[in-house]
Amino acid sequence: MTDKAKYIIDYLDEILKDARCALNYSKDYELVIAVMLSAQVTDNAVNKVSDVLFKRYPTLESLSQASYDDVCSIIKSLGLYKNKAQNVILIAQDILNNFDGKVPSSKKDLMSLRGVGNKTANVVRCELFSLPEFPVDTHINRISKRLNIAKENDDINTVEAKLKKVFPRDHYIKLHHQLIHFGRTICKSLSPKCNECKLQKYCKYYKDNYLK
Ligand code: SF4
């Protein structure tokens, strides 16, 4: 591991020791649905609607038979809610019909669920199965570029591959959560709190904005 990687790990452990998934769920399939719902919206917004959704439909069976219009009315505060409502029902049906009601762990099986792409599958693999994935969201993408781990025009898959190369496998899951929280609270998209941050010496954004 490089000095830079170790420094980042130690710093994030110092300020965000207990970072964890911010989506609420109590059953395996609820996590899959919550992650799918979180595309382009905040975890808080998802938690507000998923609380109602999972109480109204408390089992996989009930969710698989839910009325599309009713699911739309519950989640309509979320962007893309029409597609997402359809996916809620289809995911429940797929897990029930194709996987005996248990969320599968392989990426191929997860991505066979309708509405589940690479990032959602990776989040589920980390969170439910503790498998060493490094899902890249908007915060991790931005921070990786600011810290010169990835290049500005790298796509999400390239950023993920570079993160996996830089950091040891046993740190992937924790770092994933820590970087998301770091992006929400300190290294924000607009007006990052650089004066509070100890990563300045590795930061391209800091050099470009404060040292020129
Ligand atoms: S110095 Fe600023 S831009 Fe760089 S990582 Fe820290 S908060 Fe983010």
Owning domain of residue 96: 28-129
pLDDT in 10s for each residue of the chain, 212 residues: 999 999 999 999 999 999 999 999 999 999 999 999 999 899 999 999 999 999 999 999 999 999 999 999 999 999 899 999 999 999 999 999 999 999 999 999 999 999 999 999 999 999 999 999 999 999 999 999 999 999 999 999 999 999 999 999 999 999 999 999 999 999 999 999 999 999 999 999 999 998 87
Domain limit, last residue, from 129, 158, 177: 129
- Identify the CATH number of the domain in which residue 176 sits: 1.10.1670.10
User: Residue 64 burial by CB count (10 A; 0-12/13-18/19+): exposed, middle or buried?
Assistant: buried
Whether 200 and 164 map to the same domain: the answer is yes
Tally of structural domains, the chain: 2
Residues 125 and 141 in one domain: no
Largest alpha-carbon pair distance within the chain?
60
Which of 137, 162, 164, 198 is flagged as catalytic? 137
13 and 46 housed in the same domain: no
pTM more than 0.95: no
- Closest by Cα among 26, 15, 23 to 47: 23
Distance (angstroms) between ligand 1 centre and the Cα of 120 equals 27
Q: How far is the CA of 181 from the centre of ligand 1 (A)?
A: 13
